[in-house]
Amino acid sequence: MIVVIQKSLEASVQIEGNIKGQIGNGLMILVGIENEDGQEDIEWLSRKIVNMRLFEDEEGVMNKSLLDVDGEILLISQFTLHASTKKGNRPSYIKAAKPDVAIPLYEKMIAQLEGDLGKPIATGEFGADMKVSLINDGPVTIIVDSKNRQ
């Protein structure tokens, strides 16, 4: 499971012109799911996300977590994070999990993040054509792959 974490001042996702989810101060997260992903990946990533120190303390040092600043999360499914670009000019998405595998894992990721954060999170809609807006604070963008834990 790969996530792209972007620190945001505000972020939102629209589907067919309607806002599906939006946040203020917090993290906008793109998540890519592959067939080998499971509950262990979800739990590890969720703990990493809510505890990662990306927010400034009183001295301006990134020393506070999402929990410390009572921040919000916008989680967007993004199968293209698993694109292979080794051959040719058309990316291959063969590593990305099909919906019958990915949707239940995406829903478990939502539940895990809500439990670890202690409040509901905003989301997109799996498989929908989404328009995502973001004011990236910093900018701070971190990529984390649950397969690279060690």
pLDDT in tens, 101-114: 999 999 999 999 99
Spatial distance between the Cα atoms of 21 and 97, rounded to a whole number of angstroms:
24
Q: Residue 26's closest CA among 94, 72, 60?
A: 72
Percent of the chain at pLDDT above 90? Answer: 93
pLDDT at 136 (0 to 100): 97
pLDDT digits (tens, 9 = 90+) for 33-89: 999 999 999 999 999 999 999 999 999 999 999 999 999 999 999 999 999 999 989
The count of other CB atoms within 10 Å of the CB of residue 104 is: 12
So where are the chain's domains?
2-145
Active site residue 78: yes
The single residue of 80, 85, 123, 150 carrying the catalytic annotation is 80
Active site residue 85: no
Active site residue 79: yes
| The pair of three-digit structure tokens given for residue 76, joined into one six-digit string | 């967007």
The single residue of 6, 22, 39, 78 carrying the catalytic annotation is 78
Spatial distance between the Cα atoms of 23 and 92, rounded to a whole number of angstroms:
32
Q: Over the chain, what is the mean pLDDT? A: 96
pLDDT band for 149, please (50, 70, 90 cuts): confident
The single residue of 55, 79, 112, 123 carrying the catalytic annotation is 79
| CATH number 3.40.630.30 is the correct assignment for the domain at 2-145 | no
Spatial distance between the Cα atoms of 7 and 25, rounded to a whole number of angstroms:
8
- Alpha carbon dihedral 73, 74, 78, 84, in 10-degree steps, equals -40
Spatial distance between the Cα atoms of 21 and 74, rounded to a whole number of angstroms:
7
Spatial distance between the Cα atoms of 146 and 22, rounded to a whole number of angstroms:
26
pLDDT band for 10, please (50, 70, 90 cuts): very high
pLDDT at 100 (0 to 100): 95
Spatial distance between the Cα atoms of 46 and 59, rounded to a whole number of angstroms:
27
The count of other CB atoms within 10 Å of the CB of residue 24 is: 11
